[in-house]
């Protein structure tokens, strides 16, 4: 390297020419060329700073080229689409050893998914669905019955099933539409109903980014309960550690114009801590301050609020959340809120149940609010919220069932549904490869397989069969055209679960071996070996 290299030479995207090998080069040829070039371009061999810098760039580029071409999967993608094909997200979960045609099809699918993500990021859709459930009859009715019996009136309480009803609902949705690089239109709307009375509104906001330090927003709204709305919102960074927001609005109604103003000042107290001070003037004038500390393993909030026109609404609140460092992003949380209205204690947990879904449950115990269970499901940018009011009193039984019930239900669903489903989805790619191998040698192919409780007796026709499809997990157990199951419950096999706990179960399958179709039926704990245990299907079967 006696002379400086051109930038075009350094930015070479042709990995084959960079390694000086032919496109049909073997792994040994790639390795030999890679070692030779590493010795040639090693930065430590050059003392001149400029040559040393360029040698380091070439050394890294050679290493990158070798990593791509030495991996069969990456090399196949590179041969079809070049370097741009490797930049598409999602290849890491694609089955290896695919043909160029399959790689091209997978590339187009990943491109479509990337475009969908881009569109979603541009429109940024957000939605919330809240369904309030009144389940107080589950617990309060038994308390009333107990009081009647202990009072000596001899009456037996109200029989029948408890009365559970939906007493309120709320639906809201918003989308963003970028107009220019600095202007964005935001359209939002909501519908609400409570005990038979409801209403809705629609809002349109236009936001403009004025500089790197701030933006402004104008809002127009209309609804059937509050009338037209006009508002203005401003955000501004005052310093690198401090920012402020101001929101003023005017609500037009039959009672006149109701103005409102809200301002907030926020400051970074340290790397992980924020302090907020908010003042609100209008129908509910108040001032509150809060401190929020968010770290990798925890989240802490302390807040105090003063309502100028309503002392009963003044409160102090403290909450803490612990974040487990696991793949499910599990969090446990607790909070205490106390004021002139009473005291509320909340505790709960949330965990990730799929790639885009987070499930959480919170128990709320307070005076005089009673006991409530709040279930929340976040699916991408959509939120589904189900507050369930269990009782107006502090009943230990309600607290117990609100705590243990969701936990038992989640563990059962996780074990019986979610985990088997995830395993089956992961098996799909392996099954395709196994079937191709078995077809090539006229081996064992599982056509259909079911596991569970079958109803074969004519006298029990009124009973419903409870079975699950286990074709995919069973095919994954086929090795060298053989299927061997030991004398153990098949509910423990990968991809299986028990569809009828405590009842007699069996495995029934239809398969093809040596081009001939067979069927097989065996008990839950019965050992099975195929192709030895089978019989051919008759034409009239």
pLDDT of amino acid 91: 43
Has residue 514 got a pLDDT over 50?
A: yes
Q: Which residues of 429-457 are buried (b: 16+ CB within 10 A; e: fewer)?
A: eebeebbeebeeeebbbbeebbbbbbeee
Query: What average pLDDT does range 168-189 have in this prediction?
Result: 90
* 501 band by pLDDT with thresholds 50, 70 and 90: confident
The CA-CA-CA angle for residues 513, 514, 517, to 5°, reads 45
pLDDT of amino acid 172: 94
Q: Tens digit of pLDDT for each residue in 20-43?
A: 888 888 888 888 888 888 887 788
Q: Taking a C-beta distance cutoff of 8 angstroms, is the pair 19, 37 a contact?
A: yes
Query: What average pLDDT does range 111-126 have in this prediction?
Result: 69
Number of alpha helices (DSSP H) and beta strands (DSSP E) in the chain: 11, 24
Q: Tens digit of pLDDT for each residue in 267-289?
A: 999 999 999 999 998 877 889 99
Has residue 372 got a pLDDT over 50?
A: yes
Name the percent of the chain in helix, strand, coil, to the closest 5.
30, 40, 30
Q: How many angstroms separate the CA atoms of 253 and 224, rounded?
A: 10
More confident residue, 4 or 266: 266
* 156 band by pLDDT with thresholds 50, 70 and 90: very low
């Amino acid at each position: 390297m006696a002379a400086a290299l051109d930038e075009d030479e350094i930015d070479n995207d042709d990995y084959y020419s960079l390694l000086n090998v032919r496109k049909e080069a073997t792994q040994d040829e790639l390795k030999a060329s890679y070692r030779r070039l590493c010795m040639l371009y090693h930065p430590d061999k050059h003392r001149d700073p400029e040559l040393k810098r360029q040698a380091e760039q070439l050394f890294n580029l050679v290493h990158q080229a070798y990593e791509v071409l030495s991996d069969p999967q990456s090399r196949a993608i590179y041969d079809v689409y070049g370097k741009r094909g490797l930049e598409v997200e999602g290849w890491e979960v694609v089955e290896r050893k695919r043909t160029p045609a399959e790689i091209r099809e997978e590339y187009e699918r990943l491109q479509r998914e990337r475009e969908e993500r881009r569109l979603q990021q541009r429109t940024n859709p957000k939605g919330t669905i809240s369904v309030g459930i009144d389940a107080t009859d589950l617990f309060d009715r038994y308390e009333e019955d107990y009081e009647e019996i202990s009072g000596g009136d001899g009456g037996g309480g109200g029989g029948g099933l408890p009365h559970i009803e939906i007493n309120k609902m709320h639906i809201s949705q918003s989308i963003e539409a970028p107009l220019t690089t600095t202007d964005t239109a935001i359209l939002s709307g909501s519908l609400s109903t409570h005990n038979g009375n409801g209403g809705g509104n629609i809002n349109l906001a236009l936001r403009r980014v004025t500089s790197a330090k701030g933006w402004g927003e104008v809002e127009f709204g209309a609804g059937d309960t509050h009338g037209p709305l006009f508002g203005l919102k401003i955000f501004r960074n005052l310093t690198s550690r401090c920012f402020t927001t101001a929101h003023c609005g005017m609500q037009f109604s039959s009672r006149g114009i109701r103005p409102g103003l809200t301002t907030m000042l926020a400051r970074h107290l340290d790397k992980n801590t924020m302090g907020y001070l908010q003042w609100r003037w209008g129908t509910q004038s108040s001032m509150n301050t809060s401190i929020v500390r968010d770290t990798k393993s925890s989240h802490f909030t302390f807040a105090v609020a003063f309502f100028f026109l309503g002392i009963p609404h003044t409160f102090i609140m403290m909450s803490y959340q612990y974040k487990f460092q696991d793949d499910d992003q599990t969090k446990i949380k607790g909070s205490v809120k106390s004021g002139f209205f009473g005291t509320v204690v909340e505790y709960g947990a949330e965990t990730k149940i799929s790639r885009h879904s987070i499930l959480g449950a919170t128990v709320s115990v307070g005076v005089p609010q009673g006991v409530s269970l709040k279930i929340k499901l976040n699916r991408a940018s959509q939120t589904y919220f189900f507050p369930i009011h269990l009782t107006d009193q502090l009943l230990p039984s309600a607290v117990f069932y609100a705590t243990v019930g969701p936990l038992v239900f989640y563990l059962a669903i996780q074990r019986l549904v979610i985990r088997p489903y995830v395993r089956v989805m992961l098996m799909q790619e392996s099954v395709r490869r196994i079937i191709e191998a078995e077809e090539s040698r006229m081996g064992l192919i599982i056509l259909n397989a079911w596991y569970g409780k079958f109803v074969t007796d004519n006298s029990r026709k009124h009973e419903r069969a409870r079975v699950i499809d286990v074709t995919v997990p069973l095919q994954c157990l086929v090795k060298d055209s053989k299927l061997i199951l030991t004398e153990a419950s098949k509910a423990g096999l990968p991809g299986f679960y028990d569809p009828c706990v405590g009842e007699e179960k069996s495995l029934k399958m239809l398969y093809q071996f040596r081009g001939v179709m067979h069927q097989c039926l065996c008990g839950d704990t019965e050992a099975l070996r195929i192709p030895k245990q089978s019989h051919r299907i008759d034409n009239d079967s």
